Structure 1
Amino acid sequence: MNDVPFATPVNRAKLEQHYAEVEAFQQTRLRSIARINKFLLVGLGVSLVANLGLAWTVASLFPLEKLVPLPMVIRSDGTIDTQPSMSHLPATTDAAVIEAAVWEYVRLREGYAYPTARYNYDVVSMMSSDRVRGSYQTWFNYPNPASPQVTVGKKGQIDIERISVSNLGSHVLQVRFRKSITIDGSRPQVTTWTATLQYQQIADLPASARITNPGGILITSYQSSEDSAQ
């Protein structure tokens, strides 16, 4: 055991080396802290930019409720209509399928063109109940003078434009449409009509019929009339 009561003197060269090592350590530590602070500042800047972008996105959503103008149009026949908007879209896919099928039925039944007359006749007949089918075929076929085969024939066509489809109750829809009759290239005669339909969905519809009627819609009542000019 060393019994010397005092500290052993340190060599000056070793002392200078120790000071140099301490100074080098402090400088290395300061450089490391500077690098960390730099990375933190960069991260803070990126975060600030991202937060500003999110704040701008949220601000652009306001106001969440706003007034949207709904234009009113006066038609050539004197009736007044409002243009359809997104709020009139069906709430569910099933309702959309039904509305699409009912509109297609009205379009094919009320429209006419000689090249597609047979197809329209077959589809409308297939989508109609016995009573509705009988009434439709009596109206469409010869010798009824009001049939479009007689009034229009090969010399013109009847075009149908949808205005709106409204749900009046359980299995009852009302379709408003514009009918344009053109004969021999003359100026179209445009009138506005309303059709009211009752329908039911058939679950066991034959596969061949599903091709043209995927919703299985059967029209059980059909009434249409020209709107009165206002």
Structure 2
Amino acid sequence: MTDASIDFRKTHFVISAPDIEHLEQHIPGHEGIEIAFAGRSNAGKSSALNALTEQKNLARTSKTPGRTQLINVFEMTPGCRLVDLPGYGFAQVPLAMKKKWQHALGEYLQHRECLQGVVVLMDIRHPLKDLDMQMVQWSVESQLPVLVLLTKSDKLTQSARMKAVNDVRKALADFGDAVRVEGFSSLKGTGKPKVLNILTEWFTGPAEVVEANAPAAE
């Protein structure tokens, strides 16, 4: 991509697919750039996507975690897509269904050529569960940049929020620059500008983002 201006408010739904085979039939994996959103089923993925795109109902939210059973694809502009992956790790989901979701998730992460980065969402009050760590580890080993988004940060005081973010950064320090950690609140908008800048960088490349934000020449 060469245009650094991406309007996330223009994001629209494209397709839901039960697995990568169906997804590839509609959107070949070598076309465009995708950024995947992954996380436990109660991490607030749908709310985060709605907040980042300023759309109330882009991604369906539910009071019952675990309702996202499909690979849901959204597009801002041709070739730039956000992908909401099936939630993982929610205990009340039947085992057979959980295995089906895990399989679809694994297939996408391992075989989708256009995948450019992974946003791993975690509840700031309960971060770094085993499956979260596995997701981060796999992404780094696959040479994909990772943004760990600590959601529901409005549930904590400012000091507690800062401590939680710093604790997670320390825990993931061995991954170096491959992993970034930010606090986020879908309700308050905390962290939204930083997240959008990172997503834009992944879509367009750091050079273009710097150029777009640079002051005009006199």
* Fold shared by both chains (TM-score > 0.5): no
Considering fraction of residues, name the structure with more strand: 1
Scaled by the length of structure 1, what TM-score is found?
Answer: 0.22
Larger Cα-atom Rg: 1
Tell me which of the two structures has the higher relative contact order, counting C-alpha pairs closer than 8 angstroms and 6 or more residues apart: 2
